[in-house]
Amino acid sequence: MSRWCAGALAAALLFGAWAPARADLFRPSREDQVKLGQRAAEQVRKKEKVLPGDDPHVVLLRRLADRILRQLPEKDRSPWRFSFDVIESKEINAFALPGGPVFFYTGLLRKLSTEDQVAAVLAHEITHATHQHWASAYADNQKRRLGLVAVLALLRANRAAFDVASVADDLLFTLPYSRRHETEADMVGYDLMTAAGFNPQGMVEVFDLLRRATAGGKPPEFLSTHPDDAARIRRIQDRIARDRRSFPAQTPLPWQPEELKPKSAK
């Protein structure tokens, strides 16, 4: 065996041994995700017009979120710090920050007509938090940025690479989720919302409605990594067709969608 080959083999063996650890090297712990999410949520509350807790939209959102959270399996309950807020903005979107804070825009709520549709978006966003999708996206981003050589050097130095303070603010808001994560958020979200007694037809409707509402523009978070939204909707419809349970009729929202229009700025 040539020297080069031996070196390559040693590197390959070493890399193989390190591979399992490599997956977690840049992944923030659950506790760090909670810290980061709280920090980001604070920024959102400073920057955006967040509606007060007694606003009827916030009251409704939190009531539906409570129903869904009660269905979380034990393993997904802690250490997350969930919160549910509504931002007054025309933007048609909702998002989850690491560790639990969830924000809805009035622009999205205004487009929805049933509690089941709201629940579908909630269950999807809650799943992003409980399944630590941001942490995975962050770890992947760091590995891509640093490259393999630097990753291996860090491993050799056996140095903890993650530090809450070092995470750039923009990474808290702009990291895209992978298609695999979006699918997982849909499917786990389906289980959660149906366990909470919501009708999953609301999920089909919300994706269809949002696809039409945002045609040609920037898609909302839950559509952004799905070039083939029709396939996504079909997958949920198939799931409903295979589901042996019967579901209650959808519950209309207790207000006319028009009432959710943001107040005009004066």
Question: Min. distance of Cβ 151 from Zn ion in angstroms?
Answer: 27
Q: Binding of Zn ion at residue 222 (CB under 5 A)?
A: yes
Spatial separation of the C-alpha atoms in residues 177 and 21, rounded to whole Å: 22
Interface size with Zn ion, residues (CB under 5 A): 3
Stretch that binds Zn ion, among 16-24, 87-95, 176-184, 245-253 (CB under 5 A): 176-184
Both tokens of 219, joined, read: 């898609």
Question: Min. distance of Cβ 133 from Zn ion in angstroms?
Answer: 8
At 81, the amino acid letter reads R
In Å, how far are 5, 202, 243, 266 from 120, measured between CA atoms? 55, 6, 16, 34
Q: Measured from the CB atom, is 88 or 182 closer to Zn ion?
A: 182
Spatial separation of the C-alpha atoms in residues 16 and 159, rounded to whole Å: 18
CB 1 within 8 A of CB 9: yes
Stretch that binds Zn ion, among 59-67, 182-190, 234-242, 246-254 (CB under 5 A): 182-190
Both tokens of 189, joined, read: 């979200």
Cis peptide before 176 (omega within 30 of 0): no
Residue 150: name the closest of 27, 3, 26, 32 by CA.
Answer: 26
Q: Binding of Zn ion at residue 105 (CB under 5 A)?
A: no
Maximum Cα interatomic distance, the chain, rounded to a whole number of Å: 79
Residue nearest to Zn ion (CB): 222
Q: Measured from the CB atom, is 103 or 222 closer to Zn ion?
A: 222
At 204, the amino acid letter reads V
Spatial separation of the C-alpha atoms in residues 66 and 63, rounded to whole Å: 5
Question: Min. distance of Cβ 154 from Zn ion in angstroms?
Answer: 30
Q: Measured from the CB atom, is 38 or 183 closer to Zn ion?
A: 183
Q: Measured from the CB atom, is 133 or 155 closer to Zn ion?
A: 133
Spatial separation of the C-alpha atoms in residues 214 and 73, rounded to whole Å: 34
Q: Measured from the CB atom, is 85 or 182 closer to Zn ion?
A: 182
Stretch that binds Zn ion, among 109-117, 140-148, 181-189, 212-220 (CB under 5 A): 181-189
Question: Min. distance of Cβ 239 from Zn ion in angstroms?
Answer: 17
Question: Min. distance of Cβ 222 from Zn ion in angstroms?
Answer: 4
Q: Measured from the CB atom, is 39 or 128 closer to Zn ion?
A: 128
Q: Measured from the CB atom, is 147 or 227 closer to Zn ion?
A: 227
Q: Binding of Zn ion at residue 198 (CB under 5 A)?
A: no
188 Cβ neighbours under 8 A, 6+ residues apart: 123, 127, 130, 131
CB 119 within 8 A of CB 64: yes
The only residue of 69, 185, 188, 260 in contact with Zn ion, by rule CB under 5 A = 185
Stretch that binds Zn ion, among 34-42, 77-85, 197-205, 219-227 (CB under 5 A): 219-227
Both tokens of 45, joined, read: 């509350």
Q: Which residues contact Zn ion (rule: CB under 5 A)?
A: 182, 185, 222
